[in-house]
């Protein structure tokens, strides 16, 4: 789903280091929201929401992903890539990196989520903590056949979630469709 070379070239910045004038307000509202993205998408789409798993495999994270997770050596992780679909259109693409060492206790279910949203699990876990948001602007990050005719640029965010002291990385890339919907809603009111 993702063009790996483009993923490697992303520059992530702590959210407080991204000037407000660089991050346009329609994007800011979505990208800086620290609540459950799943819950917000369900509410915004009046329940017309689903998760489409594009791939899930064991593999090795990119160096920047290892660094974000605080891992010093390359190790096998579950790499899950999904599209979060609202109104039958992908609004968000997500890439999650779950180190195999994180998969213990109730977190073992993370290996078998299928089309269930990761956010529903995370935001209901009593021992979940979320690290700071990092932001990036992307261009041509997705393989073209996924969103034909759509501008291939937008904003992404990532953060490390901790289940107890065990990390997992969640990267979310918002497509322009989410902003188009917001602008249409504002125009109707």
Total-model pTM: 0.89
* Residue 189 pLDDT greater than 60, yes or no: no
- Bridge partners of 129, per DSSP, are 162
pLDDT value of residue 1? 58
Percent of the residues in the chain that have a pLDDT greater than 90, as a whole number: 60
Q: From start to end of the chain, where are the E strands? A: 13-14, 49-59, 77-86, 89-99, 128-130, 134-139, 153-163, 166-174
Instruction: Pick the more confident residue, 151 or 26.
Output: 26
- Residue 40's φ and ψ, nearest 5 degrees, are -65, -40
Q: Summarize pLDDT for 39-81 with one digit per residue, the tens.
A: 999 999 999 999 999 999 999 999 999 999 998 888 899 999 9
User: Is the separation of the CB atoms in 27 and 174 below 8 Å?
Assistant: yes
Question: Locate tokens 């891992």: which residue?
Answer: 71
Least confident of 76-90, 114-128, 133-147: 133-147
Average pLDDT over residues 81-102: 94
Task: Tell me the average pLDDT of the chain.
Answer: 87
Residues 6+ apart with CB under 8 A from 151: 176
**What are the two backbone dihedrals, phi and then psi, of residue 74, each rounded to the nearest 5 degrees?**
-65, 130
pLDDT(95) > 60: yes
Place of tokens 């990092």: 134
């Amino acid at each position: 789903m993702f063009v790996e070379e483009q993923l490697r070239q992303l520059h992530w910045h702590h959210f407080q280091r991204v000037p407000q004038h660089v991050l346009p307000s329609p994007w800011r509202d979505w990208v800086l929201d620290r609540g459950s993205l799943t819950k917000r998408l369900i509410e915004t789409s009046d329940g017309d929401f689903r998760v489409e798993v594009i791939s899930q495999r064991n593999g090795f994270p990119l160096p920047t992903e290892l660094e974000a997770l605080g891992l010093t050596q390359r190790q096998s992780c579950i790499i899950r890539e999904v599209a979060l679909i609202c109104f039958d259109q992908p609004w968000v693409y997500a890439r999650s990196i779950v180190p195999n060492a994180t998969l213990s206790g109730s977190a073992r279910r993370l290996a078998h989520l299928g089309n269930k949203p990761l956010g529903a699990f995370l935001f209901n876990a009593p021992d979940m903590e979320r690290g700071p948001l990092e932001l990036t602007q992307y261009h041509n990050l997705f393989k073209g056949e996924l969103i034909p005719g759509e501008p291939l640029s937008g904003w992404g965010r990532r953060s490390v979630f901790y289940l107890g002291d065990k990390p997992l990385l969640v990267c979310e890339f918002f497509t322009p469709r989410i902003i188009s919907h917001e602008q249409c809603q504002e125009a109707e009111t």
